Structure 1
Amino acid sequence: MKNHGIFFKTFIYTAVSILLLVVVTAALFSQQFKSFYRTIQNRQIVASYEPLERRIQRNDNIVEAAERFYENNQSFEFIITDKNGGLIFATPNAEAPDSFDGDFFYVVHNDKDYTITAQSRTGLESFYQDLIIRGSLVFVAIFALCLICAYVFARKMTTPIKQLADSAGRMASLEDVPPPQERQDELGALARDVHFMYGKLKETISQLEDEILRVREMEETQRYFFSAASHELKTPIAATSVLLEGMLENVGDYKDHSKYLRECIKMMDAQSEKVSEILEIVRLDDGKVTPVPEKIDIRNMVTGLLPEFQTITDAGGQRMVVDIPDGQTCFSDSKMLQKALSNIIVNAVQNTPTGGEIRIWSELIDKQYRLCVLNTGARIDEAVLPKLFDPFYRADKARERKDKRSGLGLTLVRKTLETMNIPYALENAPDGVLFWMNLPME
């Protein structure tokens, strides 16, 4: 079955309704026309036979008066009967009342002496036919005009609906849809609501896609993290097992149990520290760590951390330069911030060449204090920079086992600063590698 559009249906429904209205109106008016015609006809007949009545009243000879009237009005057909129904006079084509089978019979006069009955119309037939023709033409013109109005009405009503349906179809395909035309009626309000809902839907879909992508990235990160963690833990455990087996078998140098037991303890301590860092990262990921902000003096916090790095910098001939004005305070979790900053400084010291300089300063930017740590004489490949925050990532594979770094320092820094909602970045500067973080003033 063919599915007609809304325009066709609206036009048909409107046209049929108008047609019914026109037909009912024409029927009512036709009755009025007939009633009007009959009233005019009756008046005309009475007026036409009035001279005959006057002649009869002046002349007692009814037949003579009727003959003279008929001579002057030969188109009239009538009969005159007495009170008993007997025929007094009849025109040549008139019929007796008891045998009348014509289409017109009107009693013009009736009293105790005589009755005049007309059997022909008196010139109004053409008027009636003309009236019918004119009325029919008027109703045809009205119906044609109504059809035109129905077409315009259906077009005006269905065009915005069709546009809305077309827009909805494009929305279903997630295509770009232009804003609806400005209308101040219910259709305009509906179009604006649909477009607003579509915008919210696209925004929600985009957020869901971002969330799915984020979840996938987290899953991938977790897989990488556990894979790297198992690899990092497996090697020292295997080395410790070798040492212990050698001591149990008293093979070669392994007979010196005290020496190699101390080596085992050192390796276990390193692995214990690494496991603690892994657990700390997991706690930060799970949201189990809640920052407790407090007012912190930035200079005092930095200078309080520097003594623990003095031995390392002295051994490498490195210098620490601090340029933080007094009175600068921020609002953050003191312990978490110190831990993150300690890992940043350790990373800077370990990557600064012998005789190099580590600079720490702060500056006011957008109502925040930017705390900067720069290790001079260093340079990192731009492609490697984002990966440095990945767990167990080392840019220099050759140094993977020679240093004592766990590979989790910058990962902990990232997790800690993100938990505290502190913006940060690691980037190459003209004279070294710069790490900065923006500390809130309040």
Structure 2
Amino acid sequence: MKHNFFGIFGKVFFYTVLILTIVIVAMFVFLSDQIKSAVETTQQLQIADAFQTFFVQIEGRTDEEAAELARQFHQKNTSFEFCLENSDKEVIFQTDHFKRSDIPSDLDSGNKIITKGTRLTQNRMNFFKAGGSDRFQFVTISAGGMRLYVTSSTSGAFIYHIFIWDAIAAFAIVFCASLIAAAVFARRITKPIKKIAGDTRKMSELQIVDEPRQRNDEIGQLAGDVYKMYRALQSTIEQLEYEIKREKEMEENQRFFFSAASHELKTPIAATSALLEGMLENVVRPEEYPKYIRECMRMTKEQSRLVSEILEMVKLSGGLIVQKQESTNLKETIESVIGAHKSIADARNIDLDMDIPGNIFCTYDTGLFAKALSNVVINAIDNTSDGKKVHLYVKRDGLKIRLYIFNEGETIPEEDLPRLFEPFFSRDKARSKTREHSGLGLAIVKKTLDLMEVPFFIENMENGVLFCMDLPY
């Protein structure tokens, strides 16, 4: 699959990073002003606290005493730059690095708290921005008219400089962490969605898709629903493929069936027609007419039987038969079938017997079952050597009765077993011509038992062939 960064992963990642960046920048802008204000206010409070005692000491002192006190204070607090003026605005003490700015003329000596603005006052200390610089200065007016000028040790630009670089470093760290967090978040969100997209692509290509992992959220529910839909569609496709295959097989079987039926009907019709034409053209002597007429009648009966069996196959294949299920004594049904074929078996000295308890009742359509069993018994007799045995018996198997029909004689080649139930299939062409076979007997058995939903199979034994069917109680 082609990777597209601006797919769902790229979009989730981009929007997450964008939101985090906006939040970080907003916090940076907000905190920059707050930090500067906090630093400046802290400096003002420190200056006010440091000079409060000195201010009290110089009140009422002479210029020389005030200058000496200022010198002593500077020796102890060298970090402060300040200037002291008397009431005549003459400088009586000034530190080496003090730079005096323009002092506002409307200084207020009142007792006010610090307020934000160009000028801040607290405890008779007037703070203002120094001209040409962003350092804060304050002026204190004593009761004797003395003025004390103090400059803050740190400028606003310096504060901003330090803050900017620290903020940039912090922003870079937070931004990198945000990128990693956004990538992890986007991956966790998009991975199952991409998995669903990949699975749906495989589904569209009819590829096998594994069952998704269980999740308890909406994505997991979506994946589960998609997989259920896939299983349903897969089952439908398999069913359609099976139906198409089955339909093709049925069409092929029908073509083969009608082709074989046409061939089977053509032979006796042609023979009958030849005999009748021979009699009409006086090829056959009149005294031989009865013999050939009886042969024509025999072939006509054979054609009639074949047509009846073809119609039976059509009914079974077309679902035109409505079953009448009833509980029937199995022994009585089998006795009636055996009785109909006893004379044929006796004529060939075949021992046709059964071992069926009289208390077994099975539920089936008696007519259909008798027809299928009759064809099986006929086929067993036809494939049993003279003087051998055909034996019918049952065994209980859970909720079913298994009926066995065993005939002594030659076994069937393994390659012929799957084809025994095909219409007109004969593994012994020579012998089939000497017996009254239509070639539809076992095909009718299969159609009938399939319609009755009775499982059956045929297998070779050591000295014969065994046919089995499972009958429901």
Provide TM-score, normalisation by structure 2: 0.76
Partners of 2:352 and 2:390 within 8 A in 1: yes
SS of 1:345 mapped into structure 2: helix
- Structure 2 match to 1:287: 319
- Structure 2 match to 1:25: 27
Q: Which whole-Å deviations, capped at 9, do the CAs of 1:348-374 have from their partners, x for residues lacking one?
A: 112211112111111112221112211
The answer to whether 1:314 aligns with 2:314 is: no
| Residue identity opposite 2:360 in structure 1 | Q
The answer to whether 1:122 aligns with 2:145 is: no
Shift of 1:153: 2.5
Shift of 1:408: 1.0
Q: How many angstroms apart in 1 are the aligned matches of 2:211 and 2:417?
A: 43
Partners of 1:44 and 1:122 within 8 A in 2: no
Shift of 1:416: 0.8
Q: How many angstroms apart in 2 are the aligned matches of 1:47 and 1:228?
A: 123
Partners of 1:106 and 1:117 within 8 A in 2: no
- Structure 1 match to 2:75: none
Q: Which runs of 5+ in 2 are unaligned?
A: 64-83, 107-130
| Residue identity opposite 1:156 in structure 2 | R
Instruction: Indicate the percent of aligned positions where both proteins have the same amino acid.
Output: 40
- Structure 2 match to 1:439: 471
- Structure 1 match to 2:240: 208
The answer to whether 1:301 aligns with 2:333 is: yes
Q: How many angstroms apart in 1 are the aligned matches of 2:105 and 2:16?
A: 62
More displaced 10-residue stretch of structure 1: 257-266 or 350-359: 257-266
Partners of 2:407 and 2:464 within 8 A in 1: yes
Partners of 1:254 and 1:260 within 8 A in 2: no
Change (3 A) 1:303 1:74: closer
The answer to whether 1:364 aligns with 2:396 is: yes
The answer to whether 1:276 aligns with 2:276 is: no
Partners of 2:32 and 2:163 within 8 A in 1: no
Q: How many angstroms apart in 1 are the aligned matches of 2:19 and 2:85?
A: 60
Shift of 1:396: 1.0
Q: Which whole-Å deviations, capped at 9, do the CAs of 1:74-131 have from their partners, x for residues lacking one?
A: 6252456767xxxxxxxxxxxxxxxx77767989689xxx9x998x952231455434
**Alignment partner for residue 16 of structure 2, among 14, 21, 24?**
14
Partners of 2:421 and 2:446 within 8 A in 1: yes
| Residue identity opposite 2:34 in structure 1 | Q
More displaced 10-residue stretch of structure 1: 234-243 or 293-302: 234-243
**Alignment partner for residue 387 of structure 1, among 396, 419, 444?**
419
Partners of 1:80 and 1:117 within 8 A in 2: no
Shift of 1:385: 2.0
| Residue identity opposite 2:375 in structure 1 | N
Q: Which whole-Å deviations, capped at 9, do the CAs of 1:116-161 have from their partners, x for residues lacking one?
A: 998x952231455434443443333322322232233234334444
- Structure 2 match to 1:3: 4
Partners of 1:372 and 1:434 within 8 A in 2: yes
Q: How many angstroms apart in 2 are the aligned matches of 1:69 and 1:268?
A: 155
Change (3 A) 1:50 1:372: closer
- Structure 1 match to 2:90: 67
Q: How many angstroms apart in 2 are the aligned matches of 1:25 and 1:248?
A: 121
SS of 1:213 mapped into structure 2: helix
| C-alpha RMSD of the superposition | 3.9
Q: How many angstroms apart in 1 are the aligned matches of 2:350 and 2:103?
A: 150
The answer to whether 1:408 aligns with 2:409 is: no
Q: How many angstroms apart in 1 are the aligned matches of 2:463 and 2:178?
A: 86
Shift of 1:189: 4.0
Shift of 1:293: 0.9
Q: How many angstroms apart in 2 are the aligned matches of 1:430 and 1:7?
A: 71
The answer to whether 1:148 aligns with 2:180 is: yes
SS of 1:332 mapped into structure 2: strand
**Alignment partner for residue 360 of structure 2, among 285, 305, 328?**
328
| Residue identity opposite 2:363 in structure 1 | F
SS of 1:405 mapped into structure 2: coil
Q: How many angstroms apart in 2 are the aligned matches of 1:274 and 1:69?
A: 146
SS of 2:86 mapped into structure 1: helix
Written as runs of structure 1 = structure 2, the 5 A alignment for 1:112-191 is 122-125=152-155, 126-127=158-159, 129-191=161-223
Q: Which whole-Å deviations, capped at 9, do the CAs of 1:215-263 have from their partners, x for residues lacking one?
A: 2222221111010001011111112222222233233236765554444
SS of 2:90 mapped into structure 1: helix
Q: How many angstroms apart in 2 are the aligned matches of 1:75 and 1:293?
A: 122
Number of corresponding residues: 425
Q: Which runs of 5+ in 1 are unaligned?
A: 84-99
Q: How many angstroms apart in 2 are the aligned matches of 1:423 and 1:144?
A: 72
Change (3 A) 1:55 1:67: farther
Q: How many angstroms apart in 2 are the aligned matches of 1:369 and 1:2?
A: 64
